[in-house]
Amino acid sequence: MKILAIGDIFGRPGREVFRDLLPVLIREHRVDFVIANAENAAGGRGLTPKTADEILESPVNVLTAGNHIWEHNTIHPYFDSHPILRPHNVNAALPGKGWGGFAAGNGVRIGVISLQGVVYMSEKGHLAENPFHSIDKLLPEIKRQSDVVLIDFHAEATSEKRALGWYLDGKVTALLGTHTHVQTADEEVLPKGTAYISDLGMTGPHGSVIGLDKEVAIHRFLTGEKRKFKVAEEGVTIDGVLIDVNEKTGLSKSIKRISEKI
């Protein structure tokens, strides 16, 4: 089976390129299941009911998130009624759930987990439990219910992502990094069958500073002054990976980067 994983959808440009190119990619690659990170879909920070509805009109099976998912309180009720996951390893009292079970069109049971890193993430709020300990406790339950297990690991440090990838090699289908908005060139199937990439990249305006208008970002670095947040508009691209999975073993056969402009 083919799984398409899409990197952070950023603002209106990201939503638009996702809407326009996702059906094309699904047809071209005969995709069976789609996962996308949407934590920056509303103006570059968080997710709202309106933006969630817009994204979910496309043929996507589940949305994952990260540390910005609680920016808009209005999205909280959607966690119980829509296929939207927040990081599993944060305070359990926070709204939402961190994993879910889904079915592909061919009846394969797919478990999807959203995790958050801890290295360099403390200043971003919503402190997370050690992701290694968290996944150790969660994985046995998910594997009893799933043929395929996918993890969106929303983390800052490449070292943390690489370490978790090696730790879970052979235990999950794929460990997919998000958060830094720059697609990495280290995609591989690890020796025991887990597909890995440090960052899926960003679905949005690449003519930017990780989504932010270039001039706003440069001014901040030059002066320290925070100007009004402005989503960039140039170089709109959809980033992600295509994973070929052996649904009988739950392991990956190949992983290929995708980066397509409008």
Catalytic residues: 68
The angle that helices 49-56 and 11-29 make with each other, rounded to 10 degrees, is 20
Q: CA 162, 166, 167, 172 torsion: positive or negative?
A: positive
What is the rounded CA–CA span in Å between residue 146 and residue 204?
Answer: 32
Cross-strand partners of 203? 9
